[in-house]
Amino acid sequence: MNNSFLRVSIWVYLVIFFLYLLGPLVIMSVTAFNSSAFPRMTPWECLTFQWFGELFQDQRILNGIKNSLIIGAGTVVLSVAMGLAGALMLTQIWPKLRATYYTVIIAPILIPGVVLGISTLVFWDRINRMLGLGADSFLSNGIFLTVIGQSTFIASYCMLVLVARLQRYDVALTEAALDLGATHAQAFRKILLPFMRPAIASAAVLAFLASFENYNTTTFTFGEYPTLTIELAQKVRYGITPAISALAFLIVALTVFFALLNEAKLKRQELVAAARKKATVEELAGKIKLPSFFSGNMAAVLLVVFAVATITVVGTATAYNPGQCIANVKEQKRLEAEQRIQELRKQREEQRKKREAEEAEQGGAQQSAPKPSNNSGFGNVFAPNSLGGDAEEEGSDSETPPSNNGGFGGAFDPNSLQSDQ
């Protein structure tokens, strides 16, 4: 009785936990398909793919992606190399130095990213000056600084991943290779590296993702080369649009795709290994009957479902035109807004009369700005039943294209805008 109660509560807890974890991503992804200019799920207006189009026309985003890829590649190479060297050193360092060494190479994980960014910037700026180089030298290049700064701590992550596998490596294998005539470099390339390959692949993926999403360190070092994350942060801080949801959706979809792909591959490797174990000599020498890709492979099935869904969505997107729907919604909203403005005017009129009567001096801004775009005034006056957001949308729909909200938001103090939304 008590036991089953516990089990039920664990499941309820799991559901709530994963809702907290995945819910925001799902909601964000869904908002990418709502035609509302402010990313939201309710009220649902029209199914649209326009935000994807806007996303791909945004030069700053595209440029950010390019910089992120360059920096990511540099960081992967440098941090995997340093992480591997660090892990190799850890397994054979003088025992008395080991604890100190471990503390040093693990410390960057705990040092706040902001601090890493600053120290990188300050240190290389000093080196640059010591060498007498100008402000446009290689050492003060944003890509170089960002790769260096990110690698400082990403190499620690790589080291942890690599050392876990390295601990299972039998040094006798390298010795055997040397004994059979290989040079140290050959033994490393032919024996150790293939053994480490799965861990190196994991470390590289981890390093790339960490580099791609890094903000705290990069924000100090990027210089002339803003990464995608930096661009996103600028956009999000100064006003948000569903184009960002669209980007988020793409990243979520890619992530899920690769996670499933990886899982399916792992599962298949397991199945193949099991089949080989059972296979006879003749089967091995000739052709061994491998299990098909899908048998007993849940992830592979999901992968195919996922691929089909993607094709369907893309197909729909090319054929689908939400123009009529959007026009309807717009018209409806225009009517509603007009009605509200009239009510508002009426109300204001009454208020003004009242105030004039009381000779009050307040509320200049509210009285002189009946335009719906001035939503800071709106939000304060009305008991907002989702009205504040609607009004803002109306404004941005008619006045400025939503993708250009850097300029739109720039007019406001970013903090006050945040609080309004």
Among positions 294-323, residues that touch other proteins (CB under 8 A) are 298
The answer to whether the beta carbons of residues 365 and 371 sit under 8 Å apart is no
What part of residues 80-109 is at the interface with other proteins (CB under 8 A)? Answer: 81-82, 85-86, 88-89, 92, 94, 99, 101-109
**Which SS3 state, helix, strand or coil, does residue 67 take?**
helix
For residues 186 and 321, which CB has a smaller minimum distance to other proteins in the complex? Answer: 186
Give the number of residues in contact with other proteins, rule: CB under 8 A. Answer: 125
For residues 14 and 369, which CB has a smaller minimum distance to other proteins in the complex? Answer: 14
What tokens does 244 get?
A: 């960002």
For residues 176 and 311, which CB has a smaller minimum distance to other proteins in the complex? Answer: 176
Instruction: Choose the stretch contacting other proteins; rule: CB under 8 A; options: 237-245, 311-319, 331-339, 358-366.
Output: 237-245
Task: Report the alpha-carbon distance of residue 44 to residue 25 in Å, rounded.
Answer: 17
Amino acid at 207: A
- Residue 295 CB neighbour total at 10 angstroms: 11
For residues 272 and 311, which CB has a smaller minimum distance to other proteins in the complex? Answer: 272
Residues 106-145, mask of contacts with other proteins (x by CB under 8 A): xxxxxxxxxxx-xxxxxxx-x--x----------------
Establish if 415 lies at the interface with other proteins (CB under 8 A).
yes
**Which SS3 state, helix, strand or coil, does residue 180 take?**
coil
Establish if 13 lies at the interface with other proteins (CB under 8 A).
yes
- Residue 336 CB neighbour total at 10 angstroms: 13
Q: How far is the CB of 361 from other proteins (least distance, A)?
A: 26
DSSP secondary structure, 91-147, as one string: HHS-HHHHHHHHHHHHHHHHS-HHHHHHHHHHHHHHHHHHTT--TTSGGG-HHHHHH
Q: How far is the CB of 381 from other proteins (least distance, A)?
A: 13
For residues 309 and 360, which CB has a smaller minimum distance to other proteins in the complex? Answer: 309
Residues 244-263, mask of contacts with other proteins (x by CB under 8 A): xx-xx--xx--xx--x---x
Nearest to 337 by CA among 367, 371, 380: 371
Q: How far is the CB of 315 from other proteins (least distance, A)?
A: 25
The torsion defined by the Cα of 316, 33, 53 and 222, in degrees rounded to 10, comes to: -140
What part of residues 146-175 is at the interface with other proteins (CB under 8 A)? Answer: 148, 151-152, 155-156, 160, 170, 172-173, 175
For residues 47 and 182, which CB has a smaller minimum distance to other proteins in the complex? Answer: 182
| Of the candidate residues 8, 19, 133, 194, the single one contacting other proteins (CB under 8 A) | 194
Task: Report the alpha-carbon distance of residue 387 to residue 372 in Å, rounded.
Answer: 10
What tokens does 57 get?
A: 């026309």
Task: Report the alpha-carbon distance of residue 216 to residue 154 in Å, rounded.
Answer: 13
What part of residues 331-390 is at the interface with other proteins (CB under 8 A)? Answer: 379, 383-386, 388-389
User: Torsions phi, psi of 76, nearest 5?
Assistant: -60, -50
User: Torsions phi, psi of 361, nearest 5?
Assistant: -110, 0
Establish if 391 lies at the interface with other proteins (CB under 8 A).
no
Establish if 70 lies at the interface with other proteins (CB under 8 A).
no
Establish if 6 lies at the interface with other proteins (CB under 8 A).
yes
Residues 202-231, mask of contacts with other proteins (x by CB under 8 A): -------x--xxxxx--xx-------xx--
